[in-house]
């Protein structure tokens, strides 16, 4: 089985499980993984690379499974196309200047990243296709989620926790 190693253009991480494997939820598979949303032109070029690889490595398979997907956003109705990368091993994670990112830094959704990937084939029963292995991640712009520092003090009247508020009852307490 031949493999093709490549580096992707910059894309946006979607549901990344890069810093830790995916161990909880309906889709947990104990793998490191991320979906990456690329520009239309970049995704088209990546799809062409995957299709060419599939034709060469799986010539007798008429409709192999591929590592690119599309999902309809439930709120906006917009179709989002992305490519999925995954691995059993933790990928190398580097910053924009190729410095190793510390293990305690969590790569969040919305981060702009590039992937060092390898295309390979798989066959599990009736499932035959191409996979994109997640070997390395270069973080161009980091998003880690929200913290208290992302907020400013509210200038008007508003809810404020009273000192020793641990024993305060809410209107929902029975």
Domains defined along the chain, listed by start: 4-144 (2.40.50.140)
pLDDT for residue 147 is more than 70: no
Q: What's the pLDDT tens digit per position in 85-144?
A: 999 999 999 999 999 999 989 999 999 999 999 999 999 988 999 999 999 999 999 998
- Write down the pLDDT at residue 75: 83
90 DSSP assignment = P
Tell me, what's the pLDDT at 151?
72
What number of residues does the chain have? 174
Lowest mean pLDDT among 12-21, 99-108, 148-157: 148-157
What 46-55 contacts at long range (C-beta under 8 Å, 24+ apart), as own/partner pairs, is 46/8, 46/9, 46/83, 49/4, 49/6, 49/119, 50/119, 50/130, 50/132, 53/4, 53/119, 53/130, 54/121, 54/129, 54/130
Give CA separation, 44 vs 50, 112, 136, in Å: 10, 19, 22
* Cβ-count burial 134-171 (b if 16+ within 10 Å, e if not): bbebbbeebbeeeeeeeeeeeeeeeeeeeeeeeeeeee
pLDDT confidence of 173, banded at 50, 70, 90? very low
- Planar angle of CA 75, 26, 64, nearest 5 degrees: 85
Whole-number Å distance between alpha carbons of 122 and 111: 29
What is the C-alpha to C-alpha distance for residues 85 and 100, in angstroms, rounded to an integer? Answer: 20
pLDDT tens track for 43-101: 999 999 999 999 999 999 999 999 999 998 888 888 999 999 999 999 999 999 999 99
How high is the pLDDT of residue 1? 62
Evaluate if residue 165 carries a pLDDT over 60. Answer: no
Given a cut of 80, whether residue 168 has pLDDT beyond it is no
d(CA 67, CA 115) in angstroms, rounded, equals: 14
């Amino acid at each position: 089985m031949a493999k093709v190693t490549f580096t992707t253009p910059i894309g946006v991480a979607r549901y990344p499980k890069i810093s830790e494997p995916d161990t909880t939820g309906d889709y947990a598979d104990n793998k490191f993984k991320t979906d990456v949303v690329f520009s239309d032109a970049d995704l088209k070029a990546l799809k062409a690379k995957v299709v060419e690889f599939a034709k060469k490595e799986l010539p007798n398979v008429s409709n192999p499974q591929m590592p690119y997907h599309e999902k309809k956003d439930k709120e906006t109705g917009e179709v989002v196309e992305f490519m999925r990368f995954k691995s059993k091993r933790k990928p190398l994670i580097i910053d924009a200047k190729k410095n190793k990112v510390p293990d305690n830094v969590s790569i969040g959704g919305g981060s702009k990243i590039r992937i060092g990937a390898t295309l390979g084939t798989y066959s599990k029963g009736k499932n035959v296709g191409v996979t994109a292995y997640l070997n390395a991640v270069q973080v161009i712009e980091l998003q880690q989620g929200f913290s208290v520092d992302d907020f400013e003090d509210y200038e008007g009247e508003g809810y404020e926790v009273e000192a020793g508020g641990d024993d305060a009852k809410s209107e929902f307490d029975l």
